[in-house]
């Protein structure tokens, strides 16, 4: 077959495959990334191409990356479940297969095939939750005892006066039937608040059902919410939707802004009329459901960009709760650090370690894009890995966090440094970028040069001129 035809054939297969496909060369540089992969991992082609794999996926290292395993062993890895985070903090849950490309015994690279498990997991979680609830109800005839273990407002820890005020007001309004809209970034405790409201309300012995609206195709989400009738589409059966199942209780709709606009109109109708019509049905049923919706972007911005209907916003935001991100409530960073240290201290045998001053200082400066969940994960992971130490120091923190902690320096170099000339500032910035590339490439000049789109020799010269000692970066992991 001619090379040209081979290329066209490859493109046709890769572009139309329903798997995500990425190719990594033997240095760990991503050299191919198809559209499906882009959807699974939530990143554009240009964001990842020619970048070193660890710089795009900060939670990976030599030990846990199946890709690097396939490169170093030359053996394929089949159907491995992987949960990881991309450099923007998005959680990815996929099944991957990594096939090394070997020529004359030398590994030239690895092709990775990935299937998204996030959607499936979402659906599975919903089914699981419903099933558990169903079992709980069947087991227990006494309605007062029919409650699963919901969060209560006591679980939401804060020292922030603004948030304390919001919690007090929300407690007072929990008993009403008003709908609720919660705005907060990922990991700020929206689910805790939603469950606490339900728990404190008169609906607490009726179901609490949560449904994430992201990554579910419109027609499927419509059937999940409103139910189906037999024959409404191939294979459809008579099935109640979540509105009917949550009757008398609370329905939490997570990431409402991911719900297609046309479905938002249907939701608005149900909220206004309090009647639901299953897909394909001709009649309607009355439902009594309190809806709590969450968004992770400012709802006013969402209305402007037309991903949230304004009339739906007004319907839902009768009780409006804003949870500021952790980085904007500094007093909570150390307070919650302490809280989670107490929560996980039983894991260590002997006296639990203290958190050192340097770690506290870095925690206060860090951006915490994953908010309280990220802080909790960091503490849990440090406590699980630390051995016989009196103090948690910087070196005990997860690798990805140490990498991110270096970033503010780079930002600082973008601004004007008093008393410094433009040339000096550029040199400082250049030096920092080169150091970052060398750290990510473990001191490998060729990889660092590709990341910076420089010739190898040019980078070599700059490293010498700027007095950077590349041996410092060898094998950092
Ligand atoms: N104020 C808080 N006090 C104690 N723990 C908290 C607090 N906020 C969040 N957490 C912890 O962080 C985790 C994440 O919280 P939660 O699931 O409620 O966040 P979320 O806002 O719903 O996130 P997402 O948008 O990703 O769904 C919780 O399991 C809890 O352990
Ligand atoms: Mg949530």
CB 269 within 8 A of CB 312: no
Quick one: which atom of ligand 1 is closest to the CA of 373? 12
Angle (CA) 61-52-441 rounded to 5° is 75
Q: Which protein residue's CA is at the shortest distance from atom 25 of ligand 1?
A: 186
Same domain, 210 and 266: yes
227-228 and 239-240 as β-strands: parallel, antiparallel, unpaired?
Answer: antiparallel
Q: What is the C-alpha separation between 76 and 64, in angstroms, rounded? A: 15
Q: How many domains does the chain have?
A: 4
Same domain, 212 and 280: yes
Question: Which ligand is nearest to the Cα of residue 192, counting in written order?
Answer: 1
158: Cβ below 6 Å to ligand 1?
A: yes
Q: Which of 82, 77, 32, 28 is nearest to 55 (CA)?
A: 28
How many angstroms from the chain centroid is the CA of residue 310?
26
pLDDT given for residue 476 in this prediction: 44
319 CA distance to ligand 1 middle (Å): 19
Same domain, 252 and 384: no
186: Cβ below 6 Å to ligand 1?
A: yes
Same domain, 307 and 432: no
3-state secondary structure of 115: strand
In this structure, what CATH number is given to the domain that contains residue 239?
A: 3.40.50.300
pLDDT given for residue 157 in this prediction: 97
User: In which element (H, E) is residue 464 found?
Assistant: helix 456-465
330: Cβ below 6 Å to ligand 1?
A: no
376 CA distance to ligand 1 middle (Å): 9
CB 227 within 8 A of CB 211: no
373: Cβ below 6 Å to ligand 1?
A: yes
Residue 206 structure tokens? 């009726």
Residue where a domain stops, chosen among 115, 142, 162: 115
Distant-in-sequence, close-in-space partners of 462: CB < 8 Å, separation ≥ 6: 430, 434, 454
Residue 6 lies in a domain: no
Structural domain boundaries, residue 358? 329-403
Residue 53 structure tokens? 């794999």
Quick one: which atom of ligand 1 is closest to the CA of 255? 25
Same domain, 271 and 151: yes
Residue 166 lies in a domain: yes
Our separate counts of H helices and E strands in the chain read 21, 16
Q: Which protein residue's CA is at the shortest distance from atom 27 of ligand 1?
A: 186
Residue where a domain stops, chosen among 352, 387, 403: 403
Same domain, 293 and 245: yes
Question: Which ligand is nearest to the Cα of residue 186, counting in written order?
Answer: 1
211: Cβ below 6 Å to ligand 1?
A: no
Residue 123 lies in a domain: yes
Residue 4 lies in a domain: no
Q: What is the C-alpha separation between 287 and 270, in angstroms, rounded? A: 9
Residue 206 lies in a domain: yes
pLDDT given for residue 477 in this prediction: 37
432: Cβ below 6 Å to ligand 1?
A: no
Same domain, 226 and 123: yes
Same domain, 211 and 96: no
In this structure, what CATH number is given to the domain that contains residue 336?
A: 1.10.8.60
Strand order in the sheet with 290-295: 208-212, 250-254, 290-295, 180-184, 319-323
376: Cβ below 6 Å to ligand 1?
A: yes
Residue 2 lies in a domain: no
In this structure, what CATH number is given to the domain that contains residue 86?
A: 3.30.450.20
3-state secondary structure of 22: strand
Residue 216 structure tokens? 């579910």
343: Cβ below 6 Å to ligand 1?
A: no
Residue 317 lies in a domain: yes
Residue 143 structure tokens? 């309605």
184: Cβ below 6 Å to ligand 1?
A: yes
Residue where a domain stops, chosen among 366, 383, 403: 403
- Cα torsion for 434, 436, 442, 446, to the nearest 10°? -30
User: In which element (H, E) is residue 352 found?
Assistant: none
Q: What is the C-alpha separation between 206 and 288, in angstroms, rounded? A: 11
Q: What is the C-alpha separation between 424 and 109, in angstroms, rounded? A: 40
Query: Other CB atoms closer than 10 Å to residue 343's CB: what's the count?
Result: 15
Query: Other CB atoms closer than 10 Å to residue 217's CB: what's the count?
Result: 10
Same domain, 180 and 57: no
299: Cβ below 6 Å to ligand 1?
A: no
Same domain, 43 and 148: no
Residue 347 structure tokens? 């894991």
CB 181 within 8 A of CB 316: yes
Tell me if the pTM is above 0.75: no
- Digitized pLDDT (tens) for each residue of the chain, 477 residues in all: 778 888 888 888 888 888 999 999 988 889 999 999 998 888 889 889 988 888 788 777 767 788 888 888 899 999 888 888 777 767 788 889 999 999 998 999 999 999 887 766 666 666 666 666 655 555 555 555 555 678 999 999 999 999 999 999 999 999 999 999 999 999 999 999 999 999 999 999 999 999 999 878 888 899 999 999 987 776 677 889 999 999 999 999 999 999 999 999 999 999 999 999 999 999 999 999 999 999 999 999 999 999 999 999 999 999 999 999 999 999 999 999 999 999 999 888 888 999 999 999 999 989 999 999 999 999 998 998 888 889 999 989 988 888 788 765 554 555 565 666 788 778 888 888 888 888 777 788 888 888 888 999 999 999 998 888 877 776 543
State the helix-helix crossing angle for 161-173 and 190-200, rounded to 10 degrees: 30
120 CA distance to ligand 2 middle (Å): 17
The secondary structure of 224-283 as a DSSP string is HHHEE-TTSSTT---EE-HHHHTTTSEEEEETGGGS-HHHHHHHHHHHHH-EE--BT-SS
Same domain, 177 and 222: yes
Same domain, 87 and 181: no
Residue 292 lies in a domain: yes
pLDDT given for residue 196 in this prediction: 97
């Amino acid at each position: 077959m001619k090379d040209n035809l081979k290329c066209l054939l490859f493109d046709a297969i890769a572009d139309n495959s329903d798997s995500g496909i990425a190719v990594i060369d033997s240095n760990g540089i991503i050299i191919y990334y198809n559209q499906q992969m882009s959807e699974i991992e939530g990143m554009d082609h240009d964001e990842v191409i020619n970048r070193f794999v660890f710089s795009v996926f900060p939670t990976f290292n030599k030990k846990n990356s199946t890709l690097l395993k396939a490169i170093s062993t030359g053996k394929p890895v089949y159907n491995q479940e992987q949960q990881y985070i991309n450099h923007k903090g998005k959680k990815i849950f996929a099944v991957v297969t990594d096939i090394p490309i070997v020529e004359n015994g030398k590994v030239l690279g690895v092709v990775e095939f990935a299937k998204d498990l996030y959607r499936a997991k979402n659906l599975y979680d919903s089914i699981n939750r419903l099933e558990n609830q169903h079992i709980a109800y069947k087991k227990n005839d006494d309605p007062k005892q029919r409650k699963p273990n919901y969060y209560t407002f006591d679980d939401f820890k804060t020292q922030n006066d603004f948030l304390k005020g919001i919690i007090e007001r929300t407690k007072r309004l929990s008993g009403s039937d008003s709908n609720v809209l919660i705005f907060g970034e990922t990991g700020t405790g929206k689910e805790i608040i939603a469950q606490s409201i339900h728990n404190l309300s008169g609906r607490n012995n009726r179901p609490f059902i949560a449904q994430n609206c992201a990554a579910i195709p419109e027609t499927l989400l419509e059937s999940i919410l409103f139910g189906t009738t037999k024959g409404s589409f191939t294979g459809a059966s008579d099935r109640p939707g979540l509105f009917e199942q949550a009757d008398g209780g609370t329905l939490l709709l997570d990431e409402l802004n991911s719900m297609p606009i046309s479905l938002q109109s249907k939701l608005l109708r149900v909220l206004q009329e309090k009647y639901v019509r299953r897909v394909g049905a001709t009649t309607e049923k009355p439902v009594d459901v309190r809806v709590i919706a969450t968004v992770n972007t400012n709802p006013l911005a969402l209305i402007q960009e037309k991903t949230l209907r304004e009339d739906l916003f007004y319907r839902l935001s009768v009780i409006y709760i804003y949870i500021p991100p952790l980085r904007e409530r500094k007093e909570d960073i150390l307070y919650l650090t302490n809280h989670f240290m107490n929560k996980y201290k039983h894991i260590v045998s002997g006296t639990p370690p203290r958190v050192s001053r340097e770690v506290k200082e870095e925690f206060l400066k860090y951006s915490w894009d994953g908010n309280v969940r990220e802080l909790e994960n960091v503490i849990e992971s440090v406590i699980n890995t630390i051995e016989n130490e009196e103090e948690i120091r910087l070196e005990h923190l997860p690798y990805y966090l140490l990498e991110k902690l270096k970033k503010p320096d780079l930002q600082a170099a973008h601004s004007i440094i008093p008393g410094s000339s433009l040339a000096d500032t550029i040199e400082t910035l250049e030096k920092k970028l080169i150091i970052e590339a060398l750290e990510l490439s473990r001191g490998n000049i060729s990889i660092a040069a590709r990341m910076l789109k420089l010739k190898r020799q040019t980078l070599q010269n700059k490293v010498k001129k700027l007095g950077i000692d590349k041996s410092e970066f060898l094998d950092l992991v």
